Structure 1
Amino acid sequence: EALFGHVELLKEGRLFLFPHLYSKGLLAAWKEPCIVFCPDWNLRHSTAVHLLRRWHADKRNLLVLEQGVDAELALKPFMPVAIQVLECSFLSGIKVRKVNPLLSVLKPKLVLFPEDLKSRCPSKEDAPWSYLYYSKGKTIEIPNTREDFEVGLPTDVAFGLQPRQLDKAIAVARLRAKLHLSKGQYVLVAPKDQSDESNRQLLHWGAVDAGRLLSALQEKGIECAFPADDDDGPAGCERSILITSPGEALVKMAPEKTVIYCDDESTTRLIYDALSSVCNGI
């Protein structure tokens, strides 16, 4: 037995399913009068718009809307209209005995189920999915089952990236874009008027080698040295560089961060340039 009644209608050729209005199969099977089911209840996009433009001026046609939808507002772009409008409530659901067979087909990781139906449809002990039960007026916390997700990137944007190699398997690049969700897929959309970001501040990563930074600072004419009490201890310990000219400053390096203490802007810029030369950055 089919889980849903419309499956039999599809098999008998009494119901047709098409992805969009201009499908070849739809154009071949199209006959009027007909009944069309459209998910666009607000009548503002997709198939419903095209069909209403075709049918709105004929009083022999009927538009059935979900009860509670403002029909006058929904039809405003198509005024004047002669089409008849009927508002009714659409009851949807599934028989309790068909819940577990449906879940066996879908194989979800998590199922949200009404608390008041818990006793009528007990969960299977050997089910590979877990249940969360909800009730009206009660907030529940839903765990995130995905640790990561794939993101699409337009070809022209991808070719404009300048990645830097981290290791043999990973390269990183910097991009200013917005994350969009389109047809169930995440896409990074970069603005068309990308400003010149050649002078933007770099993002750095990795631990700083104190010896290399000291040499880089001295190459820029900065007078600096390790403090007298600073010894080259084991890897992972905090180290410092004391700067006396052209301005006083202190650079502290730890495995998780590097901090520059300086009141003079020009000296800070010199230190930052030296730091950038010994670090990976994008």
Structure 2
Amino acid sequence: MVDILLHSCNQEERFDKVSRPTIHKEIWLRSNEDYLAFESRNSTVKNVWDALQDEEIYMMGVYGMGGLGKTTLVQEIGRKADNDKLFDEIVFVEVTETPDIKKIQTVIANKLGLKFEYAMEDESQRASKLYSRMEKRNILLIVDNIWGELDLKIVGIPSRADRGRNKILMTTRNVDVLEKMGSTKNLGMGILNEEEAWSLFKKMTGGVIQTRELNSLPQDVCKECGGLPIVICTIAKALKNKRRPSNWKVALRELKAPSPANFIGLLEKE
């Protein structure tokens, strides 16, 4: 079931305090009440956190199949780093399967308070300005959802020699991508165990699973989600207020034989 589902979805340096525009905290950096600290994720979180504080490590990554919650995990680490003031600035950018360098440069620049003055600036001009803005700083750059090797120099991200205290944290499905990019700390993620999956499912569905008429349907649906957090959350939220067994039976049937039309794009964020 899981294989079918996965296949179907599949500015410049500061001169004074007035010169830089105000950068508001992004929504993702605010508390995420849905986040659950699972035992199976604790070691990954600890290893990434240790790497963020290790001056010798510049680039690190989290990898694993779609739907595991890699984005959720690195964002939670980003929130902790923000709360602990580990970095001066934290930037999150999604790459996607077909990287748009101009878009990536613009997203990073905007979040760092850097504005490209001319619409006609080419890729290398934007990269040069971005490089100057980031050079020898203390910035955590989270690069999410990398599908293939991304040339950081083309984007304008400082190399090891000029990185200062900057760190890059990436997510990808393929560890080979991290290795080709020179990442020195790569951590794999797996599916949730049965107890963790059920704990997440219960949190997302709420009291509806206590409905007597549902019998074992909640447990059956949860099991069919294959231990994938994104699938569990999506299905559980859809069933949160459904007390009729028929709704749960439909969900169970579609999980067992998923329709591409129903699940297209479900796991693309991971």
Same fold (TM over 0.5): no
TM-score (norm 2): 0.29
Q: Which has the larger radius of gyration?
A: 1
Of Structure 1 and Structure 2, which has the larger fraction of its residues in strand? Answer: 1
Please report the TM-score for the alignment, with normalisation by the length of structure 1.
0.28
Structure (1/2) with the larger helix percentage? 2
User: Which structure has more RCO (C-alpha within 8 Å, separation ≥ 6)?
Assistant: 2
